[in-house]
Each structure stands twice: as C-alpha cells, then as structure tokens.
Amino acid sequence: MRMVTLSGHVDYLRGGAPAGELAALGESMHADMARMYPLCRSLSGDGVRATLDILEETLGLERREVPSGTRAFDWTVNDEWNVRDAYIADLQGRRLIDFREHNLHLVSYSTPVRARMTMEELRPHLHSLPDRPDWIPYRTTYYNRTWGFCLPHRQLQELDEGPYDVVVDATLEPGHLTYGELVVPGESTDEVMLSAHLCHPSIANDNLAGIVVATRVARLLQSLERRHHTYRFLFAPGTIGSITWLSRNADVLPSLRHGLVLTGLGGPGALVYKRSRHGSRDIDRAAGHVVGRRGGEVRAYSPYGYDERQFNSIGFDLPFGRLSRTPHGEYPEYHTSADNLSYVRPPELVDAYTAVLEIIDVLENDRTYRNLSPYGEPQLGKRGIYPTTGGRSASDAVMAMLWTLGYSDGSTSLLDIARVADLSFTDIRAAATTLAGAGLLGDP
C-alpha cells in the first residue's frame, strides 16, 4: 500500500482499497497488539523497554532514559519497578492467584512482600469488582508505597480463612523512566505531535490500540516522498511521561502547531474527538470535521482524561486534542481484564488509522485558492474535467468542483468550503487539485 502522496493514500483507503487489503491491515495491526499485550508495562521498567523494542522493529525510535529522582515541574521521576514473580499460594504451594497467568493480578508498583498471612491480614490488599465478578480489575499504587492483588470477585468469595503464602518478588529502586520518541522531518519545522501512552499492562484498548494506530501512521508518513510538517511521535507513560517530556523539550514547544493524543481507538463505538482547551484551534477544526463526517462525536475540553491535560495546561497552552472511541470510564470493560484482545477489533483499528490520516491530510493540504475564472461558471467540459459518465460519484465530483469554484475567493479555505458544502475535505481537496490542474484556481 505504498503511495507517493498522503492524499493519494487517503483517497485509496477511503475508496479504492480492496476489502481484503483493509482486512489484512486490520489483522496485522491486531497481531502487533497481541505481541505487546502480555508485557508487564507500567510507569517504568523492562515491560516498557520490551514494548519499545517491538516498536523499534519498524520505527527508528529514539529511546530516552530519565533517572529516578529527576524533577519535572511539580513532579519527580519515580523509582523503577520490575517484577520477577508474584502470587498468593495455599500451604500446599498451589498458586491461587498468579501474576504469571495475568499481570493485572498484581497492583502496579506493588512493593516487595514475602509473608504468611491469614485472610484477615490479606483481605485489605485484595481488590475485586463485585458487580463484574469474572473480571480482574486494574489497580495502581504509583505514589503510595503498598502492595496488592486483584482478582475476580467470584474467586475472592471462594477463599477461606487461610493462611496463605504471599509473594511479591519485585524491585522498586532507583532506575529510569523510559520513553520512545520519533521525529519524521518535513519541509517545515512546524510540528504535528501525536502521543500515545504506554504504561498499561495487559490491557488492549487502553492503550495498545493507540500505540498500534500511531505506529502505522508513523510508518506511512515515513514512506511518503514529501511532508509539509515535521511529525513527532511520543510513546511515554501517562502523566509523568508527558510532563517529563515537556520539561526536557522547551526548545521544541514553540514549533508545535498541532497535537493529537491517541487512545482507546480499537473498541466499539463511534470516534470521539475531544477539543483542545481553546476549542477553535486548527486541530479542532480538522479533527472536528473528519470525525463529524464519519458519524462520530465532538466534545468540549475538560481538564481530566489522558495527556491532553498536560499539553493544554495553562503554562504550555498547546493545541492538543484527543481522538478515541468510547472514552475512558464510559465502557464497563475499562481498566479491567475484559479490555482484552477480543474487545478490540481489526476494522475499528483500520477506521481509526484512516481517520488520523484524514486529519493529517487536512493539516497538510488545507489552503486557500482564488478562482481564476470568476465571471460566471467556467465551462468544465471544454477543459475535459466534466465527468462524462453518470452516476452518484460523478455528480459528487461535479458538486465538489462547483462548491470549490463558488467559494474560492482568496480567503475561504478548502476546509471552510467543505463545511459550507457539507462535503468531505477529501472531496473538496480532490476537486481543487483537478481545478488547479486545469488552470481554474490559483494562489490567493
């Protein structure tokens, strides 16, 4: 699926690609997720590095290692956490709850433990979901040093008074916070930044889906002959990762023109775009248009969610929106073992990938033209650009050309025209290319 231009690739994905090719793309993205799914990611540690190892197979990532104790604005990089083993066993040595079976069984950032305990002593350290008795919850204790296990409520109810052997064979000591960064240079130093968090262990939609969509977008952008913007991809643990990145990249911030946080893109539900704090930045117009045309939802900013809240914070005030499907906390599988590989489906991954490229197509190609034949309607037929075959798509193409001619006054952009015409940007952009090629549109 190698295309010379981004627009060509977007048009291909939207209309020309054989269904089998799109299905294969989705399966391939899902297979990438399946490789990363078992790794025990957290705010730091070897699971993060192993995930970046996989991304590095296809992307020339720069890996950053930031020492524990490093200050980042109001935050301090935590100690590094790694787990060798963790379980709760009965006195016969049978493992009843086993980290090796599912890494959600262990509360992330649990401190080391080796003890024999009664149920009464153990119970405050056990977490379950009474209303979802078959699911394992996802819990973290990043900034409060304790330990815990998570288990299905049904299993909790079956445990007797004990005693039990409890083992958390983990290290929590000075090390590093690890993140990956990729810069794909363009003709301009103006940057578009896409970020996806990589701190969740065996959870699929939140946010392996965002990671594989970002990875494919990066690969596609790298394959293009030209890009206007420079593209920067950040794969970092949530909150502390983006704040640490912000603290080390003051020189980059003035070049950041558009930003998008990618998360939760593989589950059911339509796309949801969350605007930047200002709500009317270029990324809001571009993503709002694309998501709206795709039947998705556009929401206002709120200072809660993923890393958009760091980028949009008053001190940085960067134009970052967020693209997801059903947002965090609004689906029951959120932060449980039910957010697994079967919750995320290949067609949704392909749809999200296409939507991100469409948004980038707007950022790359929205521009303003002047109609060079503004006295009445120019005759398209004599220029050979009036479709001679009938049908809906032909009439759509004519309508897109008429709208583009009708509004290209030197100050109305192609995206503005698409909105007025209630047509997609891709249709208007394609019409403008045809019209400019026929000498009917020129610089404003």
The answer to whether 427 contacts Zn ion (rule: CB under 5 A) is: no
Kind of pairing between the strands at 272-274 and 230-236: unpaired
Q: How far is the CB of 127 from Zn ion (least distance, A)?
A: 16
C-alpha dist (Å) from residue 291 to 53, 165, 235, 274, 320: 32, 52, 23, 10, 15
Q: Among the candidate windows 204-212, 217-225, 226-234, 347-355, which touches Zn ion by CB under 5 A?
A: 204-212
Spatial separation of the C-alpha atoms in residues 198 and 166, rounded to whole Å: 28
- Name the nearest CA neighbour of 209 among 390, 30, 335, 334: 30
Q: How far is the CB of 304 from Zn ion (least distance, A)?
A: 12
Q: How far is the CB of 283 from Zn ion (least distance, A)?
A: 22
Nearer of residues 206 and 307 to Zn ion, judged by Cβ: 206
Reduced to 3 states, what is the DSSP secondary structure of residue 125?
Answer: helix
Nearer of residues 11 and 339 to Zn ion, judged by Cβ: 339
Q: Among the candidate windows 120-128, 198-206, 215-223, 427-435, which touches Zn ion by CB under 5 A?
A: 198-206
Both tokens of 2, joined, read 């190698």
Nearer of residues 32 and 206 to Zn ion, judged by Cβ: 206
Spatial separation of the C-alpha atoms in residues 301 and 318, rounded to whole Å: 13
Q: How far is the CB of 48 from Zn ion (least distance, A)?
A: 15
Both tokens of 262, joined, read 């990618």
Q: How far is the CB of 223 from Zn ion (least distance, A)?
A: 31
Nearer of residues 266 and 319 to Zn ion, judged by Cβ: 266
Nearer of residues 59 and 203 to Zn ion, judged by Cβ: 203
Nearer of residues 138 and 369 to Zn ion, judged by Cβ: 138
Nearer of residues 140 and 171 to Zn ion, judged by Cβ: 140
Task: Mark out the alpha helices in 306-345 (DSSP H runs).
Answer: 308-311
> Where in 125-217 does DSSP place strands (E)?
126-127, 149-150, 164-173, 176-184, 191-197
Spatial separation of the C-alpha atoms in residues 222 and 133, rounded to whole Å: 45
Size of the site for Zn ion (CB under 5 A): 1
Q: Among the candidate windows 45-53, 97-105, 202-210, 336-344, which touches Zn ion by CB under 5 A?
A: 202-210
Q: Are 263 and 224 in contact (CB under 8 A)?
A: no
Q: Among the candidate windows 19-27, 85-93, 203-211, 284-292, which touches Zn ion by CB under 5 A?
A: 203-211
The answer to whether 206 contacts Zn ion (rule: CB under 5 A) is: yes
Q: Are 149 and 104 in contact (CB under 8 A)?
A: no
Q: How far is the CB of 80 from Zn ion (least distance, A)?
A: 20
Q: Among the candidate windows 109-117, 145-153, 206-214, 362-370, which touches Zn ion by CB under 5 A?
A: 206-214
Nearer of residues 46 and 206 to Zn ion, judged by Cβ: 206
Amino acid identity for residue 214 in this structure: A
The answer to whether 284 contacts Zn ion (rule: CB under 5 A) is: no
DSSP element (H, E) containing 24: helix 19-36
Residue nearest to Zn ion (CB): 206
Question: How many Cα atoms occupy the beta-carbon half-sphere of 306 within 13 Å?
Answer: 30
Both tokens of 41, joined, read 């990611």
Q: Among the candidate windows 53-61, 205-213, 215-223, 343-351, which touches Zn ion by CB under 5 A?
A: 205-213
Both tokens of 275, joined, read 């605007």
Which spans of this chain sit near Zn ion (rule: CB under 5 A)? Answer: 206
